[in-house]
Structure 1
Amino acid sequence: MKKRMVKTMMILLIFMLGALTLTGCGEKAASAEDAYGKLKERGYVIVGLDDTFAPMGFRDENQELVGFDVDLAKAVFERVGLEVKFQPIDWSMKETELNSGNIDLIWNGYTITEERKEKVAFTKPYLENRQVIVVLGDSKINSKKDLEGKKVAVQNGSSSYDAVNKEPDLVASFAGGEPIGFDTNNEAFMDLEAGRSDAVVADEILARYYIQERGIDKYKVLGDDFGREEYGIGLRKKDVELLEKIEGALDDMKKDNTSSQISEKWFGENIVK
């Protein structure tokens, strides 16, 4: 009797383990699905952005989200047939927000790097950029070497932060032995203006726009920089069809000059790749 009960229990246990395994596989398969079909059913896509990153995506005097990437995303998804909603996020947590499903895209001057490619899929690059060093107009800092012993500000989690830290010997020479991190580029520039920082490293596209708005004579952009880079749109790696739809729309917008018109609106010239 006992042997029969033990045998029965073993059969039940094997059955339960098999069911759990099948369930787990089913969940894994479901989680690996491309999101495009669900987005079509839902009717909209959520773009994550840093809403202080002018001129790519930022708030105007009426607190409306505007910018080059905002206009570009709206034009793309009008062609794809989806409404686009913009979700401000903590930029240092952007990949986590994407892969946890809180947003569907990272699109806001998002630099393509090998490290980020491990976490997300990128579209083809659509803009070029470089990491420039900005100081006040009367500063005696004229080169990278002059940053030794100085306070250098960057945005946390940004490509600027990564670019600066690729030169560890130089970083070790900064005051405090590391760059000063801020949640936004605006805060970094305000710290520079207040004289608490000596220099800011930032995306040239943002820096040039910021300088133009605040006064060209107030700042100086050094000839040295921390490298050139390209902007792309970040997606979850499983979202292959969504990526194809976006790239198809971008290609069409180059052909009919929609992207060049948006570029001229924000930069005064066509800088789209």
Structure 2
Amino acid sequence: MRKLKMKKLMALFLTLAMILALGACGTKRTNKSQDESDLSYVKSKGRLIIGYTNYAPMNYTDENGVFTGFDTELATLTCEKLGLEPQFVEINWDTKEDELNAKSIDCIWNGLTIDDDRKATMEITDPYVKNAQVVLVKEGTAYNGTESLIGKTVVAEQSSAGEKTVKADDNLKQANYIPKNLQTECLMELKAGTADAAVLDLTLAKTMTGKGTSYEDIIIVDYLAEEDYGVAFRKGSDICAEVNRIFGEFVADGTMAALAEKYGLEPAE
């Protein structure tokens, strides 16, 4: 009887030991996963998932159906240096940070304006391209500063630097502001006459308006805010430092300047 009890106790002890060992093993795996760096994570996948929107001259499909652009080419060259395959995924700009943190994408590489709010929630590279927020109207429209737009309909891309510029300007605060999903939609509104003005990125405005474009009668009439573009990664990501290092190489060997010239952009200082 005593031997039977001892056997039962021994079996119970072994069972408990196995449960504890499995639990410790699971904890070890979890900690390892939590401690894994962002760079190790993307390298384990072999690819960098790049979030973008259709935004010329940064990421867009040209008249021949080729996906291209300054950011598209720069990201592809950077991925070559990182030993990763670039995978471009079109995103909703309004939920870009949610997609980044959910790991649906690994970075936002699409003419992202650097500001303090974004730096507080994301890891952002050094500036690589200069930009500005500009006011566009139909040719022939009377314009004498943003006060001309008080009570008028003004459009900008939702959650963009353009929207922030509208909301920060005392005169534009008194306009009828309508947010749009994309900057290209803002140009469509201007062309259709359903908006009086748009506040957009200079980089896009220079590429998509003027002679030989679909918006020949849309002109830039004002510069409101100068800014810089950067690439955004998850907060604390160690990929950012690697990309900064590669950007430094591209500046030194002339790659960055050549790309900027190709797309009519000005590199950041």
TM-score range, shorter chain: 0.7 to 0.9
Contact 2:191 2:218 in 1 (8 A): no
1:216 CA displacement: 7.7
Contact 1:33 1:239 in 2 (8 A): no
**3-state SS of 2:108 partner:** strand
1:202 CA displacement: 0.4
Letter matched to residue 261 of structure 1: A
Are residue 48 (structure 1) and residue 51 (structure 2) matched? yes
Contact 1:143 1:224 in 2 (8 A): no
**3-state SS of 1:201 partner:** strand
**Aligned with residue 267 of structure 2, among 252, 266, 271:** 271
Q: CA RMSD in A?
A: 2.4
Aligned twin of 1:162? 164
Contact 2:60 2:68 in 1 (8 A): yes
**What pairs up with 1:107-256 in 2 under 5 angstroms?**
107-167=109-169, 169-175=170-176, 179-212=177-210, 213-214=212-213, 218-225=217-224, 227-240=225-238, 242-256=239-253
- State the TM-score, normalized to the length of structure 2: 0.84
Contact 1:135 1:192 in 2 (8 A): yes
**Distance in 2 (alpha carbons) for counterparts of 1:32 and 1:107:** 25
Letter matched to residue 219 of structure 2: K
**3-state SS of 2:166 partner:** helix
Cα distance change of structure 1 residues 180 and 28 upon mapping to structure 2, 3 Å threshold:
farther
**3-state SS of 2:78 partner:** helix
Percent identical pairs in the alignment equals 31
What do residues 209-241 of structure 1 show as CA deviations (whole Å, max 9, x unaligned)? Answer: 11145278512212342x11110010012312x
1:163 CA displacement: 1.8
Specify the structure having the higher radius of gyration (Cα): 2
Are residue 83 (structure 1) and residue 79 (structure 2) matched? no
Are residue 61 (structure 1) and residue 63 (structure 2) matched? yes
Contact 2:107 2:232 in 1 (8 A): yes
Aligned twin of 1:37? 40
**Distance in 1 (alpha carbons) for counterparts of 2:252 and 2:209:** 32
**3-state SS of 1:193 partner:** helix
1:62 CA displacement: 4.2
Contact 1:260 1:272 in 2 (8 A): no
1:141 CA displacement: 2.3
Structure 1: unaligned runs, 5 residues or longer? 1-11
1:74 CA displacement: 0.8
**Distance in 2 (alpha carbons) for counterparts of 1:224 and 1:66:** 27
Query: What is the number of residues matched between the two proteins?
Result: 248
Contact 1:153 1:188 in 2 (8 A): yes
Aligned twin of 2:7? none
Contact 2:136 2:218 in 1 (8 A): yes
1:249 CA displacement: 0.9
**Distance in 2 (alpha carbons) for counterparts of 1:251 and 1:173:** 43
**Distance in 2 (alpha carbons) for counterparts of 1:224 and 1:112:** 18
**3-state SS of 2:209 partner:** helix
Contact 2:208 2:215 in 1 (8 A): no
**3-state SS of 1:214 partner:** coil
Contact 1:261 1:270 in 2 (8 A): no
